[in-house]
Amino acid sequence: MPSPLPAADAADADLGRRSVRSVWHPCTPLEQLRAAAPRAIVSGQGVWLLDAQGRRILDAISSWWVNLFGHAQPDIGAAITAQMQRVEHVMLAGLTHEPVVRLSERLAERTGLGHAQYASDGACANEIALKLSAHYWRNLGKARKSRFIALGSSYHGETLGALGVTDVPLFRTSYAPLLRPAATVPTPELRGLADDAARQAAIDHACAALDDYLRREAARTAALIVEPLVQCAAGFVFHPPQYLARVRELCTRHDVHLVADEIAVGMGRTGTFGACEQAGVTPDFLCLGKGLTGGFLPLSVVLCTDRVQQAFEHADPARSFLHSHSYTGNALACAAALATLDLLDEPRLAANRALAQRLDRLFEPLHRHPRLGHARRLGMIWAWDVIDAPADFPRRFGLEALARGALLRPIGSTLYFMPPYVIDEPAAEHLLQATLQALQATLHGRPGGYADAALA
Ligand SMILES: Cc1ncc(COP(=O)(O)O)c(C=O)c1O
């Protein structure tokens, strides 16, 4: 007999049931929602979330990779409150305000790219970059350069334009009639390649494929969009900085823009402020989002080179960039981003790198786990592939982990941690134990576990 759900779930269950009726929850088929209603969260503090029953849950994935400095971080909250007392929002057509100017200047100092254009989500930032790129070529009299290239297994968001450069078969087929799909070129497949020669051959092969495509299609291609260093949604597929540097070289040689989608990997996640830094690369467009406000408010940005901006210096409206959002450059979100940048200074990045090495040692039992392979880490991203994972692994594992006080959502058979940067060793130890126990329950089918009850 499976044991019942943990007792005293009444308040949770009620909110959960109301949520199922009234809210459309992302990435959750309705049938799954009905089997296990969403857990109601009432507060957060640091890496911890508190549910309606007072149970603590460690947010090991930074609530979809947005939360950098923990929940309810006081400095970011105070910056928003202070801004709220001045002005919460004004439109940017014909008006401006201090937080948006200061944020744009600071991002330009930090990245070497200026001319910030703001949206709310990652997908919208990527669409802005793609539109800007194609419009740039049009303004130069090269309107044929309007197509895009993406890497195999890319993920750039789920609006229609972003889906066009996203290479996830489920999305591509489900929305095929609505999309203008990009060409894809292979990423270097380094998984399982231990020796340097084989790794180098895989990188050479991927670069040759891109070169070959660009030789034929550069005249019709506006931009290549990449997720620098880590393709997170693809299951944490890593490529080395050397590959990124060669991609930059090829784009320059063939006169095609490079769009760096750092929505997931920017803001210190890979150990440096931006992932492109590790390859010594400056893209033509850089997209940031997610952690930009420390997880407080939706804000994304596209930064570009002076050269791109100069192509839009025309009186003719058709040669101006045509793109606007009502909330572009929202003052509260910009204030939150400025406070986040204050926290994410060089000493903090160095401290993060040292912390990640210590946690790496602590996570040793996962690196040696008989059912986990291909252990990998970059900055504050850890990933492992589950060997012979059952088909419903992500869902069952997620429920088992939640029952043990850890928020984890494997991607397919890839288990990963992307914790807030304020995780400490005791919290990491909790995460380790919850993960080991959830693995045991999911892979060895310990009867009576949480998942059995939830699935019953
Ligand atoms: C690399 C990358 N780009 C874009 C997005 C889309 O961002 P958003 O969900 O804010 O639209 C994501 C989301 O996970 C992402 O990982």
**Domain spans of the chain, in order of start:** 10-68+346-455, 74-343
The whole-number average pLDDT for the span 93-109 is 98
pLDDT the model gives residue 446: 57
pLDDT at 9: 64
Strands of the 56-59 sheet, one edge to the other: 41-45, 48-51, 56-59, 406-407
Please tell me the distance from the alpha carbon of residue 382 to that of residue 415, in angstroms, as a whole number.
8
- How far, in Å, is the centroid of ligand 1 from the Cα of 167? 13
Q: Which of 192, 161, 231 is nearest to 381 (CA)?
A: 231
Q: What is the CA radius of gyration of the chain?
A: 23
Q: 3-state class of 213 per DSSP?
A: helix
CA of 439 to the centre of ligand 1 (A): 27
**Lowest-pLDDT range, 172-181, 257-266, 372-381, 445-454?**
445-454
Q: Which of 65, 156, 165 to mutate to test the pocket of ligand 1 (most atoms within 8 A of CB)?
A: 156
How far is the centre of ligand 1, averaged over its atoms, from the C-alpha of 375 (Å)? 24
Rounded CA-CA distance 120/300 in Å is 5
Confidence check: pLDDT of 451 > 70: no
CA of 446 to the centre of ligand 1 (A): 35
Structural domain 10-68+346-455, CATH architecture: Alpha-Beta Complex (3.90)
| Whole-prediction pTM | 0.95
CA distance 218 to 41: 50
- Pocket test of ligand 1: the residue of 290, 293, 297, 302 to mutate, having most ligand atoms within 8 Å of its CB, is 290
Q: Is the pLDDT of residue 279 over 70?
A: yes
Q: Tell which atom from ligand 1 comes closest to the C-alpha of 298.
A: 10
Ligand 1 residue neighbourhood (C-beta within 6 Å): 121-123, 126, 155-157, 227, 232-233, 261, 263-264, 289
**Angle separating helix axes 196-217 and 241-253, nearest 10 degrees:** 20
Measured in angstroms, how far is the CA atom of residue 328 from the centroid of ligand 1? 18
Residue 452: the pLDDT is: 38
| Single-letter amino acid code for the residue at 391 | A
Pairing of strands 183-185, 147-151: parallel
Structure tokens at 197: 């020669």
At the topology level of CATH, where does 74-343 sit? Answer: Aspartate Aminotransferase; domain 2 (3.40.640)
